[in-house]
């Protein structure tokens, strides 16, 4: 069984059997525990779905705490995007919830961890508004940059030390091919993955 298939977002893989569902829940809950103990932000990079977007696993009542994990979805530039009806189905999926360990997922039963997609595509590459705001069905790649928020925000050195906080964040831009075989690349984003504060 491929780990990529098991742990990829259920929004893109709605047909997951019971054993895979329990294993996936255990995997996510284990990572949340490690994140809380070690102050590590987990981020998933996934692909091979011929589309792009950003997923989010989080506790709606405690944004950016240890339960928050991001998923950056991209695909090979040469892959053909899926048909429009598939994209409409995926963009209209309802939010899902991660159950406690040992329990089967019940999408309508709220828990402390919600899984949904971020709406980052307000328009298409030609500038026209789009209804599919969560996933873009075009050839693409993602560029990720690591940065220190203190330096970017201009607060570097204000704590009396000549160095940054040491807490690094990520900024991910989705670069999507424009119309036609040689269309200009259009940037969407950034999706900011913040560093995790100790004890959160």
pTM of the model as a whole: 0.80
- The confidence score (pLDDT) of residue 11 equals 46
| pLDDT at residue number 158 | 59
Tell which residue, 114, 96, 131, has the closest CA to residue 10: 96
Read off the pLDDT band of 168 (50, 70, 90).
confident
Distance CA 47, CA 34 (A): 24
What is the C-alpha separation between 186 and 192, in angstroms, rounded?
A: 18
Average pLDDT, the chain: 81
């Amino acid at each position: 069984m491929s780990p990529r298939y098991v742990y990829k977002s259920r929004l893109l893989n709605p047909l997951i059997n019971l054993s895979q569902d329990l294993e996936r829940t255990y995997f996510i809950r284990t990572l949340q525990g490690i994140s809380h103990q070690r102050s590590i932000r987990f981020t998933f990079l996934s692909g091979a779905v011929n589309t792009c977007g950003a997923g989010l696993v989080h506790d709606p009542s405690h944004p950016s705490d240890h339960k928050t994990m991001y998923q950056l979805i991209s695909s090979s530039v040469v892959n053909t995007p899926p048909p429009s009806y598939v994209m409409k189905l995926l963009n209209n999926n309802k939010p899902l919830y991660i159950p406690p360990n040992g329990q089967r997922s019940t999408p309508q039963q709220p828990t402390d961890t919600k899984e949904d997609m971020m709406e980052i595509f307000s328009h298409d590459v030609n500038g026209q508004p789009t209804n599919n705001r969560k996933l873009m069905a075009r050839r693409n790649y993602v560029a990720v940059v690591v940065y220190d928020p203190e330096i970017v925000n201009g607060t570097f050195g204000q704590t009396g030390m000549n160095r940054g906080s040491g807490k690094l964040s990520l900024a991910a831009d989705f670069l999507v091919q424009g119309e036609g075989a040689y269309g200009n690349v259009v940037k969407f984003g950034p999706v900011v993955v913040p560093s995790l504060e100790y004890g959160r």
